[in-house]
Structure 1
């Protein structure tokens, strides 16, 4: 049952007077339950509880933490249809998407449980003492990774489950031994509370310390700012806009003790299509990319928002075909009225730029909060001259850039800001000419896809979901896959320690 209250540790509280409601974007109505925004005192209590819990939780064995994560997964599944119903009513996304995203959330939790069931993930290092070494003896040195402390996780707007309350940031932080305080995304407050109730049940069932998890509501910046500024918070995980992620990064940097903010932010995910690929399979590419551009109403961080080609008659026909196939797909409901308004504003901004041509867009009356898909085109010359054309449009939108030759194409790639992904669509006869393109992409993106689509982010050790700024605030780390646990730990070396005093992972 949804109460509208905050979980401060294992206890539901609502001492404040400010409330908000979620909305159903498909019906364009408010949902009935009011949610109480956390007060300053509740924020402070949650963080202090997390700090207290950290002293014990950081020493809980990997096998016990694995049991905890698996129990969270079990309790989320036990929510059954109630979770699916609130998810769809708060997001406008279909039931199939809700079920699929729940499955991804469960898989992430179980993947981290499997990872920490032994100590290999810490990448422990051992260097034995050598007292007889000349000219100086060598001490025994051992290194392991230890958790940072309480982590604040900000729920994402576009993934109410997999990047939110029990999503990848929470799962990886709990797996590492860090308590988590979730700042709920206000669009998904009911979904968040239900998932939080599952986590609290798992805490009680597995005997984890009270305070290892809290769930706080709040619109705007007040609650999030208070959390990031709290001296007992040691790291932040965020998925969202460049402006939101950068604001948190700046707040964290101004603290007396600066802390890391691992923010995954905007990306237009450039796609390079060679002339040979257009000549040989233009229709197939157009169909595939029309589906990728409109998938989930374009509300994916890996949506292909920029397509780079070489100018030719065949290219012009390809752009026309891509546009026709994209707008032929039925318009879809966006996550929230504000997101729809942002999409309209951003797409109008791009289309008003000098040289930008709207090739096709859905016209005519649409239901409230449904997005009119659109494809625009511009020459490489205009694109290079206007940074405004590089901005992300969050929704079913893509800009096709026609470079005059490969030299200009490389110049365009080199001039892009950091991105999550880059894609190459090419034929075998292109291979010998792709090295410069690959080199350019390596300096701009975190993941390079060959003859595929960027939408779809596999949860596995090889995945890199992050890239140069502003795709993320630290391109050395990933926000997806089991390697994302490394964000929440730091290395410590122990020199000449007696075996009895070493951490368990480093004992003989």
Structure 2
């Protein structure tokens, strides 16, 4: 192996043991032992983060940008080793991991460029009005300031882009907030080597070592202690609805409640309008099959539901989707637990009278094969469980009798990360009625595309109304994600020499 894990936690620049060990469960290759996290380690990391904030939180944007770029450089310096252990732990193909690594480093550099420009600070100045009657007004300035140490929970499905140095960590560091990461036990070796890269960047740039810590897997007490620690001022999380809601509730129940930015799950419905379906049913069916099975369906933007108008064109669409899905070989899922949850979700659908199987397959072990079911709009509205996410390559076709019924169905959806309209010019009036409904349901509304694949750009929104995320006003992807870890502060009648440096340039 190129990289052999230490199996330790990184706390403020020190590699530390824990209370006992746990063994990784790789898809292939050797297993490794890792130290179990403890509440004591959480306390130590959070105390170091608070100490670091008093320098890092007041560092210049130029200094923080240099740090972000150094992390990207150090990750790239370990590219081959990251791909090797990442593929072993997750079963993801090398091409996918190489692409995800590029996304991760590109994100760090994008955020560095963004904070150097300074627009994200939303600087505002209301000039003094000393002659105003009946009372003069003093000068008031506003700027966004970092909130303090942030807790980040690594995601199972993105070992790089949503984990140790992924989007939440990059956004917090860009804002000026130290980070304590709770690593995901699905890929602890990948987490460790990326933490090693962050540690190297800290040493290279002279940043306070308490600005970053990684605590590996442990009992639930570790995660609970992290979100309840008084030094932690915000939390970033990508994971299950049940786990995320439990942490959200803990954050809200604190003596000082803090924001919990959780991305929890979504079925990402697609609405295929009549003229589009008539013109290209087969192409849409094949495209949906490709999107549904990308990465074994383990994307939070996986389009799990396709809503179509009953008729011959719907038949053409489902036939094409079934034929394309039938050709997809079994794929390795990220963990044994995720694979079991997928089989349980498939069984839940298969035992419901409200659905009809169009493609039924058997999955075993850590492998998953695609499954496709069908139901009517009336049955879907009557059975809320049909709208729950099954994490994996499972799709549901919902047939409705008319565009009006399609709109009614759209109104019944819970919050989503994405919603998609497939349309042609003749569908414009129907799309105009549907669009206002969907923008109330989702953070991103697409036309004539598939939602898998989330661009890291200024205009991206990766979030949505609950249960897609816990804060509908935020995004976990794109430069606007930095705003989650800032708060506005107004400075009234303050001399220029006393103002924060961000006002001066």
Q: What TM-score, normalized by structure 2, do the two folds share?
A: 0.97
Measured in 2, the distance between the counterparts of 1:441 and 1:61 equals 41
Contact 1:302 1:421 in 2 (8 A): yes
Measured in 1, the distance between the counterparts of 2:218 and 2:293 equals 29
Please state if 1:275 is matched with 2:270. no
In structure 2, the residue matched to 1:11 is 14
Please state if 1:440 is matched with 2:437. yes
In structure 1, the residue matched to 2:24 is 22
In structure 1, the residue matched to 2:419 is 422
Q: Which moved more, 1:55-64 or 1:344-353?
A: 344-353
Counterpart pick for 1:410 among 407, 411, 414: 407
* 1:110 positional shift: 0.3
User: 1:58-457 residue pairs with structure 2 within 5 A?
Assistant: 58-363=57-362, 368-457=365-454
Contact 1:327 1:361 in 2 (8 A): no
Q: Which moved more, 1:320-329 or 1:254-263?
A: 320-329
* 1:507 positional shift: 4.3
Aligned with 1:377: secondary structure? strand
Q: Which moved more, 1:174-183 or 1:352-361?
A: 352-361
In structure 2, the residue matched to 1:56 is 55
Measured in 2, the distance between the counterparts of 1:478 and 1:372 equals 31
* 1:220 positional shift: 4.1
* 1:320 positional shift: 2.3
* 1:77 positional shift: 0.7
Query: Cα RMSD between the aligned structures?
Result: 1.2
Contact 2:282 2:316 in 1 (8 A): no
Measured in 2, the distance between the counterparts of 1:276 and 1:125 equals 48
* 1:2 positional shift: 1.4
Contact 1:63 1:118 in 2 (8 A): no
* 1:369 positional shift: 1.1
Counterpart pick for 2:473 among 444, 461, 476: 476
Contact 1:155 1:239 in 2 (8 A): yes
Aligned with 1:434: secondary structure? helix
Q: What TM-score, normalized by structure 1, do the two folds share?
A: 0.97
Deviations 1:20-77 (A, max 9, x none): 122222x4x7x43110012221111000000000011111100010000000000001
Measured in 2, the distance between the counterparts of 1:40 and 1:242 equals 24
Measured in 2, the distance between the counterparts of 1:270 and 1:360 equals 19
Measured in 2, the distance between the counterparts of 1:223 and 1:190 equals 19
Contact 2:37 2:218 in 1 (8 A): no
Measured in 1, the distance between the counterparts of 2:159 and 2:317 equals 36
Aligned with 2:396: secondary structure? strand
Measured in 2, the distance between the counterparts of 1:23 and 1:7 equals 21
Structure 1 portions without partners, runs of 5+: none
* 1:264 positional shift: 0.6
Aligned length: 502
Deviating above 4 A after TM superposition, structure 1's stretches of 4 or more consecutive aligned residues are: none
Measured in 2, the distance between the counterparts of 1:33 and 1:337 equals 17
Measured in 2, the distance between the counterparts of 1:350 and 1:51 equals 48
* 1:367 positional shift: 6.5
Contact 2:10 2:195 in 1 (8 A): yes
Measured in 1, the distance between the counterparts of 2:72 and 2:430 equals 47
Measured in 2, the distance between the counterparts of 1:317 and 1:154 equals 43
* 1:135 positional shift: 2.3
Measured in 2, the distance between the counterparts of 1:219 and 1:267 equals 27
* 1:120 positional shift: 2.1
Measured in 1, the distance between the counterparts of 2:74 and 2:301 equals 30
Contact 2:264 2:468 in 1 (8 A): yes
Contact 2:274 2:427 in 1 (8 A): no
Deviations 1:104-132 (A, max 9, x none): 00000001111112322201001111101
Contact 1:500 1:507 in 2 (8 A): no
Aligned with 2:418: secondary structure? strand
